[in-house]
Structure 1
C-alpha cells in the first residue's frame, strides 16, 4: 500500500496549479509506502523523535528482533529497562509503555480513529504522551491514509512551498491558501513538496537561503 498518488489525484492537482503540475510532469508518480498498523506506527514515530532516520531504523530493528510483533502485550511484557536497552531513552520508553497501557485498558481506542474527522484524529493522537500535532499529521498521511493533509509545522513542506512559489517565508494565511488549492488531495501534494525540498528539481533554490543577513 502507498500514499494515494494516482491518476485522479494527479489530474486534479495539475488542473488546479500549473507550477505544481509541472513538477508532477517532471517527477511522475511518487510511491511512498504506508505503515498501516496504527499501534506499531505510533511506536515507530515515538522512537524516531529527535534522532536521525538511520538511528530510528536501527532501534526499530532491534525492537522487532526482541519482541517479534510490536504490539501492546509484547511491549508491556518487555518493560521499561528492556525497552531502553534496545537503544531508546527512558522517556521514550515511558511514552511507549503509557500508550500500550492505554490501548490495553481501552482508554485509547485505535479502531475508532478511522471514524473521526481529521481534526478529531489530531486531537485524539495529541492526547497521547510524546505525540504532537506534527506526528499526528504524519500518522494521518502514512498510516491512516487520509487524503487531505498538509502540515504547517513540517519544515520540508515549508521549504517546498518556498521553493516552488518563490516565497521567502510561508505564513499561516499563505499556507492556508495553498492548502485550500490542493484540497481534497493535499496529502498527494505533500509528497511533491517534500521531493522539491529534497532537491528533486534541479536548479530550484530556497529563497529563504538568499535572505540578506
Structure 2
C-alpha cells in the first residue's frame, strides 16, 4: 500500500503563523501528498542510492527491475547477487558496489539499522552517511521519506534552496540565511520542505520566477530531493 508523508493542520498553522511569505506559498500550493519509501530502511537505502543523479522515471524503472531480479530487496538477497547482476538492472558499477557494501554490513551485523531508528536526527545522519554511497543529503532524505521524521530541511537539496529564492525573492540563499529559516520552521521542517519542493517546480500560480542570477539557476529538468521532478545535483 502506498504511504504518504503525514502532517497535521497544526503544522500548517504553525508555519503560517511563523512566516507570512511561506504561508502565502502554502495557500497557493494547497494540500501536498508526497509518496514515502517503503517502511524498510534497507530497501529505502537501496532505492535512494539508485535514484542519485537520475530522473524519477529512470529510478522507478531500475527499482522495478531490481525487485523482479531479487524478489525482495533484502540484505541477504543483495549479498547473494553479483555486482554484475545488480548492474544489469541499469545502475553503474559504483552504485552496485555501494549497494553490495551496505548489504554486507547489515547482514553481518556491522551496521545496525534498528539502532538508527532510535537515534535522533543528527546521530542518524552521521550513522547513515558512514555507509558508502550515502552522503548527508541521502541520509536526510531517508529520515524524511522512510522514517517520516518531522523536522528535516536539507541545505544540500538544490530544489529547496530554489524554492526559498522563489518565496523570499533572494538572489542567493547562504548557509547563514538557511539556518535562520530552519530555526523558524522547526519543529516542522519536513512540512516546509514539501512546500518548498512544490514551489520549486515553477508550476504554482504566482511562483514562476527563480531570483538567482541567470548563470546560477538550476534547470527544471532532473531530480528533486525525495524523488520528485525538480533540481538535480545533490551529492549522496
Question: Shorter-chain TM-score category?
Answer: over 0.9
Equivalent pair of 1:159/1:197 in contact (CA under 8 Å): yes
Q: What is aligned with 1:105?
A: 108
Give the match's secondary structure for 1:74.
helix
Please provide the CA RMSD for this pair: 1.5
The alpha carbon displacement at 1:209 in A equals 4.2
Q: What is aligned with 1:130?
A: 133
Q: Which runs of 4+ in 1 moved over 6 A?
A: none
Structure 1 stretch 113-122 or stretch 180-189: which is displaced more?
A: 113-122
Q: What is aligned with 2:188?
A: 185
Segments of 5+ residues of structure 2 without an aligned counterpart are: 217-236
Q: What is aligned with 1:151?
A: 154
Distance 1:113 1:56 in 2: 25
Q: What is aligned with 2:29?
A: 27
The alpha carbon displacement at 1:154 in A equals 0.5
The counterpart of 1:67, out of the listed 67, 70, 74, is: 70
Equivalent pair of 1:168/1:211 in contact (CA under 8 Å): no
Distance 2:26 2:106 in 1: 40
Distance 2:148 2:118 in 1: 13
Give the match's secondary structure for 2:143.
helix
User: When the two structures are superposed, what TM-score results if normalisation uses the length of structure 2?
Assistant: 0.86
Q: What is aligned with 2:49?
A: 46
Equivalent pair of 2:44/2:146 in contact (CA under 8 Å): yes
The alpha carbon displacement at 1:211 in A equals 7.6
Larger radius of gyration: 1
Structure with more of its chain in helix, by fraction? 1
Distance 1:71 1:138 in 2: 20
Equivalent pair of 2:4/2:34 in contact (CA under 8 Å): yes
Q: What is aligned with 1:119?
A: 122
Segments of 5+ residues of structure 1 without an aligned counterpart are: none
User: When the two structures are superposed, what TM-score results if normalisation uses the length of structure 1?
Assistant: 0.95
Distance 2:136 2:74 in 1: 23
Equivalent pair of 2:117/2:147 in contact (CA under 8 Å): yes
Give the match's secondary structure for 1:207.
coil
